[in-house]
Amino acid sequence: MKDGFEKSIPQEVQDILLALGGEFHFDPLSSPESKAYFCGLLEGYRGDPAETTAYLWTQVRQDFRYFEVPPAWIQKPEWPFHSGRPMYFVGQLDNTVRRDGFAYALMFYVFWDPEDGTTQTITQSD
């Protein structure tokens, strides 16, 4: 069953968002906040439909920011949002945990909202 995002966003625009997600290290379908952000971008766009890709690329480049390098997710991207906007990616810390003869990668992704100082850490492991 399709949710509101998939019903309201044409498939060709969803394909554009997924391609941008690959380039900018996010998943537009990862959370309700992400879906709301992209629906808001598209609702606010009044330009030529042929320029949708360029518009979205410009907005994503402006909003999905990072300190030095984008996150290198070891699982599916989980870029967090705060106050309706993507948070600023500060960096990541990696660690290897050894247990029962196996080594597991453990990654901490640190995000920050420069407007109010809120931080959030996403943890992933393999």
pLDDT at 1: 41
Binned at pLDDT 50, 70 and 90, residue 70 comes out as: very high
pLDDT at 104: 86
- Kindly report, residue by residue over 95-105, the tens digit of the pLDDT: 988 888 888 88
Quote the CA–CA distance of 57 and 24 in Å, as a whole number: 9
Residue 33, CA atoms < 13 Å, CB-side half-sphere = 11
What's the rounded mean pLDDT across residues 82-93? 97
What's the rounded mean pLDDT across residues 87-98? 93
Answer yes or no: is pLDDT of 119 > 60. Answer: yes
CB 98 within 8 A of CB 81: no
- Encode burial over 48-86: b for 16+ CB neighbours within 10 A, e otherwise: eeeebbebbeebbeebbebeeebbebeeebbbbbbeeeb
Mean pLDDT of the chain: 91
